[in-house]
């Protein structure tokens, strides 16, 4: 059994499988515990949006600030009792063609994210203190 140097029981753990890297974008699949069907993303922006959607839906970790918008936007309603359809261990078995990373957002403070990223292939864990830092880590890794 693989040992993960992070808390893999957190509800918002995601497994990001990078399948293709173009000159400007990374494409792949994102898995969470609430669906066996992956979310396929064409670029990092789609991935970030989906991750935020998941965290709003779970209401975990709770955001300390409400995101600003040019228009009064309705926030995604949190789910009543989100149920996992497969275990984290099972979900984390999925691998990307070009690389795999496990992302755990621990806090959503200062209108951004703080957490840890585990690069599955190297076993290295890195901390990020904002989404900007997370993007930079992903950019450096692949």
List the x/- string, 1-40, binding to other proteins by CB under 8 A.
----------------------------------------
Nearer to other proteins, 27 or 112 (CB): 112
Footprint of other proteins on 54-93 (CB under 8 A): 65, 67-71, 73
Among positions 38, 46, 60, 125, the unique one binding other proteins when judged by CB under 8 A? 46
Question: Quick check: 133 binds other proteins (CB under 8 A)?
Answer: yes
Q: Phi, psi (5° rounding) for residue 47?
A: -65, -45
Closer to other proteins by CB, 18 or 131: give it. Answer: 131
> With contact defined as beta carbons under 8 Å apart, do 78 and 88 qualify?
no
Q: Applying CB under 8 A, does 49 fall inside the site for other proteins?
A: yes
User: Quick check: helix, strand or coil at residue 51?
Assistant: helix
* Number of neighbouring beta carbons within 10 Å of residue 134: 25
Closest CA to 60 of 10, 25, 19, 102: 10
Helix, strand, or coil (residue 46): helix
Residues 113, 37: Cα–Cα separation, whole Å? 25
List, in order, residues 6 or more apart from 92 with CB less than 8 Å away.
Answer: 2, 4, 8, 13, 15, 102, 120
The one among 109, 126, 141, 142 contacting other proteins by CB under 8 A: 109
Which range binds other proteins by CB under 8 A, 4-12, 19-27, 92-100, 128-136? 128-136
Kindly tell me which residue out of 34, 86, 129, 142 binds other proteins, with binding defined by CB under 8 A.
Answer: 129
* Residues found near other proteins in the complex (CB under 8 A): 42, 45-46, 48-49, 52, 65, 67-71, 73, 109-113, 128-133, 135
């Amino acid at each position: 059994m693989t040992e993960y140097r992070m808390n893999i029981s957190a509800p918002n753990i995601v497994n990001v499988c990078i399948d293709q890297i173009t000159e400007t974008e990374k494409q792949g699949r994102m898995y969470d515990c609430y669906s066996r069907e992956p979310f396929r993303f064409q670029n990092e922006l789609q991935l970030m949006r989906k991750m935020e959607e998941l965290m709003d839906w779970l209401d975990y970790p709770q955001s300390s600030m409400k995101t600003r918008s040019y228009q009064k936007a309705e926030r995604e309603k949190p789910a009543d009792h989100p149920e996992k359809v497969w275990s984290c261990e099972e979900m984390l078995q999925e691998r990307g063609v070009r690389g795999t990373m496990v992302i755990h957002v621990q806090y959503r403070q200062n209108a951004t994210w703080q957490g840890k990223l585990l690069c599955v292939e190297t076993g290295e864990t890195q901390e990020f203190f904002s989404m900007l830092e997370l993007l930079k880590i992903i950019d450096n890794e692949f």
